[in-house]
Structure 1
């Protein structure tokens, strides 16, 4: 790559040559991060048998999945051999679901009234609501379709003999997938070498289902998150206080010196509160002292105005010959200072500052949210917070539950988009490279997953570069010389050897295809997540459907890929014609046609996926 940057960039066509060398650099970093993950691959021994006196809650999360499907999972969960309590967490609040659960003797939890008119936070909110209603020391979390084996708790609970372990994750495996796995659902590379590699760095991920979590660890990060959220609110309020005070001075310039004096007192209180926050004084003490000073300032304004009013009333009484004195006591002044309808305009500005310091988090249904609510993939965000607090995670490489994979391309695209959006939300909000408490290895393990979703932008360049050369003869490199191939070919070969060695016989080709073929999804995920974090645009939360959606191939959903395929074919034909008429260099043309062929092989999976008609039982027999 040093050679590429210094000696091979075609600066006369920098508009394409520079993006190309940039994405090549991106790919090198991606390969490095993958190799680093594999470097500490950990294969764990069988954990010790757990004690029999631990309390376990099994949570089955559901929103609108078919009731029969949920009950199949719930009945299997109720047969888990370790003593436990099974709960259906019905975020849809369905009466039929409740009746089915009660008939089977299975616990049923839906949102409490506290959630009315508050943000629901999708699956994270559902789990947080259930945490507040249960007491189990350990939580087994299952999606509605993930049917558990009877021994699932026994196989995982022993890892918690290490008191530092907060999370144990097992693979997600799907029984409605053929060996060909056209939609790339099984992810054998991730639920295997990648998770085992991350486990070696104490960074195995929570994947939302088929995982067991220690309640104590969740509650710790919930309380820590609450404190950090309150401190952030206080910091933001104090940062905006100067503008509030300046506006109050402007609006009430003619009200008298007592208003300016009161506002100066508030300004001093702001400075002191900032200093106290910087010195890590308890937030409760800071807000209490600050609010007392603001109340005192507001009361001084009222006292001064009432004193003036008292003098006016006394003068009126004297002039009218009435010797009685109109008297307003301290209690009256306090009531005036508290009333929102107070005619003293400066109080409104002061009151806004007081109300902004909301340590009760009245905007949320419950103040403490153990499961992270800042991303549509609450699992990764929660796991990273556990790691920042010093907790450990375990990847237990044993299939202990079997679920349902998407049965059509439309559903798969919905699922992959949500995963990617959530991951990038975490990246923009809580960049792991900047998080205190994470080790260097943990930072890179989280960052590598987030980095991988930038591949959508790289794919556009990799597709465009050969098209530009074959159609217009624009060289993206100085020359396709021996020097170029002597460096490129070894990199490509070693990169494939890395995947082959790491996979240990597992099929990884489908994953490589989709890393390029889903480039519009990855780009949309990055841009929409950025818009959500920066501009507050809503992403929503799409539950992955468990049945086939629609009839016929969803060609409209893969229009960018179809355009790319057509452009690559046209470019190949154009390049061959240019070469035969002497307008194109033979070496460069052949290299780029090979490049086009490789791109077409990668992208072809999206057409097969669009034509896929779903899993049928006969295919299972063929397996």
Structure 2
């Protein structure tokens, strides 16, 4: 731990020194259009390294937990939508063999009769959505889990994806942590059994499910990752109730002022001169004021909104007679004008059109205004009519429910635990297209949470917890930095434009030590865990990260639907290499190769500046090595038992 912290401090000091020099003494302002983006990208990467260093500062392994409470009750949830019945049943039957007493449930979001029959035949619980969810938001996997929480009773919930086959001792090895009454979540690694040697699709995440999660755990910020996790029901239900109350408060804050404005506008209507109408509007205005004061005093929302609704209903009834009379007057005027249109008056038709337009554009009548108030009040009814159920424990603000749920649990003061032991065997994507779909959904969900509930402004979280969540969200912005890192050597080798003002001794004496200690940091932190494949994919998938950021922004800010794609769990039919999925990266690789050729020609035939050309050729070659991982990914045909590695599945 001491050696790790020394390397972290060295990385921050050397990196800070390098960036200070870059910003103050090395920018080529004559080529600001590439110089500024490059130093911004370098600054982004330095912040990323600092966040990684903070994560690892308190990294620790946990001792074995105490034995579980033998009286604990557990529900095992297996979530499924359209996965093959055989695959789901393999997981379900393995879950039934878990040694600790429990009840296994298949949560079938596809409502398949054959799935129900298979579950019942194996004496397994089967849950699907009721008709209450028809024509209401379904919230994907979060909605499926929230629905199941309503009809089960176990104190603890083990959540498994349909392809995550649990080992018999998964509960024995994790439930003991819940002897601490503040622990809400125990997350175990997700490791895949169908990954070939070399991990061509980068499916395993040994750095995350290991050092990084252990580092976050040191700050009480270990993440919920959607599967292979045990959660405390009481914590989830508290989260659901708190979320419900907060949402209700927001709706009240919107609804009552809107209702007051509608009544004020109706008071300017000509019909409001009638004493009966005026009295009704005044009573409604007073009722809204009384409701706001009662809520501020802490009176129950249900009784306050009920009383307000009754007073609005009574006022509406008193206005019916006068409103009908006004409509009759309008109709009489229209009939008179229609008769006039048959006379010899050439302006009669024009008068009819003018008066009809005025009738359409007039302000709401008092009765219509009160109907609008009644509609507004529907927004604060306690039964939450727009949702299938009022209490939603798992967060529904993202296409991935796990991060937002965990962040909210931490905000309520609950603890999370990362247990570093392989206790379930999963199935990874078996082709590039499926992998890209999965990664895109993960990134989109993370950025949705960032845009909707930025952890940096969540006051209930500790500062380290905020930074732990922010670090993961920040990492998905790497796609924009990658574009610059690919473009910079191409610009120099083709155009001869150097973003850095000089490649003198001043540059290398700062840059090389920083890069060396930066790589040393990853080696020390990883403790022998292979990280190169992950580093390759973090850059090579830059179009995915950029698309995730842009589509999440469109969804959250512009309200454009995002959709939800379930990751296929079976091997796709062989369709040959999937080059079309990496077109952008292939174009970048072609440009890099051309740039290297041009650089070599200039170096050997045109007396180009040696040091700068050599550095940028080496940079371009490194970029090609990074992107080369996509060749094996695009041509990968799926896993066979002969491809299995011997030891890479152990966390």
Asked if these proteins are the same fold (TM beyond 0.5), I'd say yes
Tell whether the 8 Å contact from 1:231 to 1:283 is kept in structure 2 after alignment.
no
Which of 440, 456, 465 lines up with 1:417 in the alignment? 440
Deviations 1:82-105 (A, max 9, x none): 111111111111111111111111
CA pair 467-295 structure 1, distance change in 2 beyond 3 A: same
Residue matched to 2:7: none
Range moving further from structure 2, 282-291 or 86-95? 282-291
Cα distance in 1 for residues equivalent to 2:35 and 2:258: 46
Cα distance in 1 for residues equivalent to 2:453 and 2:515: 33
Residue matched to 1:607: 631
CA pair 234-343 structure 1, distance change in 2 beyond 3 A: closer
Residue matched to 2:571: 548
Tell whether the 8 Å contact from 1:294 to 1:354 is kept in structure 2 after alignment.
no
Which of 556, 577, 590 lines up with 1:533 in the alignment? 556
Tell whether the 8 Å contact from 2:83 to 2:569 is kept in structure 1 after alignment.
yes
Deviations 1:445-489 (A, max 9, x none): 000000000001110111111111111112211112211121111
Q: Does residue 43 in structure 1 map to residue 66 in structure 2?
A: no
CA pair 305-609 structure 1, distance change in 2 beyond 3 A: closer
Cα distance in 2 for residues equivalent to 1:11 and 1:265: 68
Tell whether the 8 Å contact from 2:244 to 2:391 is kept in structure 1 after alignment.
yes
Deviations 1:305-344 (A, max 9, x none): 69999xxxxxxxxxxxxxxxxxxxxxxxxxxxxxxx9993
Tell whether the 8 Å contact from 2:145 to 2:394 is kept in structure 1 after alignment.
yes
Q: Does residue 591 in structure 1 map to residue 608 in structure 2?
A: no
Q: Does residue 74 in structure 1 map to residue 97 in structure 2?
A: no
Which of 144, 147, 153 lines up with 1:135 in the alignment? 153
Residue matched to 1:441: 464
Cα distance in 1 for residues equivalent to 2:451 and 2:279: 43
Tell whether the 8 Å contact from 2:200 to 2:629 is kept in structure 1 after alignment.
yes
CA pair 577-268 structure 1, distance change in 2 beyond 3 A: farther
CA pair 464-157 structure 1, distance change in 2 beyond 3 A: same
Range moving further from structure 2, 36-45 or 354-363? 354-363
Cα distance in 2 for residues equivalent to 1:101 and 1:526: 40
Indicate the SS of the match to 2:126: strand
Cα distance in 1 for residues equivalent to 2:317 and 2:633: 70
**Matches for 1:13-28 after TM superposition, within 5 Å:** 13-28=31-46
Deviations 1:262-300 (A, max 9, x none): 556656666676677678765446544654564465456
Residue matched to 1:387: 410
Indicate the SS of the match to 2:224: coil
Residue matched to 2:588: 564
Q: Displacement of 1:580 after TM fit?
A: 3.4
Deviations 1:502-538 (A, max 9, x none): 1100100000000000000001111111111112222
CA pair 238-585 structure 1, distance change in 2 beyond 3 A: farther
Indicate the SS of the match to 1:344: helix
Residue matched to 2:339: none
Tell whether the 8 Å contact from 1:463 to 1:596 is kept in structure 2 after alignment.
yes
CA pair 305-73 structure 1, distance change in 2 beyond 3 A: closer
Residue matched to 1:354: 377
**Matches for 1:255-404 after TM superposition, within 5 Å:** 255-256=272-273, 258=275, 259=277, 263=281, 283-284=301-302, 287-288=305-306, 290-291=308-309, 294-295=312-313, 298=316, 301-302=319-320, 344-404=367-427
Q: Does residue 163 in structure 1 map to residue 186 in structure 2?
A: no
Residue matched to 1:191: 209
Residue matched to 2:200: 182
Q: Does residue 488 in structure 1 map to residue 488 in structure 2?
A: no
Which of 451, 458, 462 lines up with 2:481 in the alignment? 458
CA pair 15-268 structure 1, distance change in 2 beyond 3 A: farther
Q: Does residue 513 in structure 1 map to residue 536 in structure 2?
A: yes
Residue matched to 2:13: none
Q: How many residues align?
A: 591
Which of 99, 110, 113 lines up with 2:128 in the alignment? 110
Which of 107, 122, 127 lines up with 1:89 in the alignment? 107
Q: Displacement of 1:357 after TM fit?
A: 2.7
Cα distance in 2 for residues equivalent to 1:286 and 1:446: 39
Cα distance in 2 for residues equivalent to 1:484 and 1:537: 46
Range moving further from structure 2, 241-250 or 167-176? 241-250
Q: Does residue 620 in structure 1 map to residue 644 in structure 2?
A: yes
Tell whether the 8 Å contact from 1:262 to 1:297 is kept in structure 2 after alignment.
yes
Cα distance in 1 for residues equivalent to 2:480 and 2:433: 22
Q: Does residue 30 in structure 1 map to residue 53 in structure 2?
A: no
Cα distance in 2 for residues equivalent to 1:521 and 1:564: 15
Range moving further from structure 2, 272-281 or 482-491? 272-281
Range moving further from structure 2, 552-561 or 411-420? 552-561
Which of 141, 144, 160 lines up with 1:126 in the alignment? 144
Deviations 1:157-178 (A, max 9, x none): 0000000000000001111112
Indicate the SS of the match to 1:153: coil
Cα distance in 1 for residues equivalent to 2:599 and 2:253: 61
Residue matched to 1:330: none
Deviations 1:341-382 (A, max 9, x none): 999333333333323333321111111011111111101111
Residue matched to 1:201: 219
Q: Does residue 576 in structure 1 map to residue 600 in structure 2?
A: yes
Cα distance in 2 for residues equivalent to 1:501 and 1:543: 36
Tell whether the 8 Å contact from 2:266 to 2:366 is kept in structure 1 after alignment.
no
Cα distance in 1 for residues equivalent to 2:185 and 2:154: 15
Cα distance in 2 for residues equivalent to 1:66 and 1:360: 36
Cα distance in 1 for residues equivalent to 2:24 and 2:165: 56
Residue matched to 1:2: 20
Q: Displacement of 1:621 after TM fit?
A: 7.6
Q: Displacement of 1:112 after TM fit?
A: 1.5
Q: Displacement of 1:58 after TM fit?
A: 0.7
Cα distance in 1 for residues equivalent to 2:607 and 2:632: 36
Cα distance in 2 for residues equivalent to 1:583 and 1:570: 18
Residue matched to 1:61: 79
Residue matched to 2:430: 407
Tell whether the 8 Å contact from 1:205 to 1:383 is kept in structure 2 after alignment.
yes
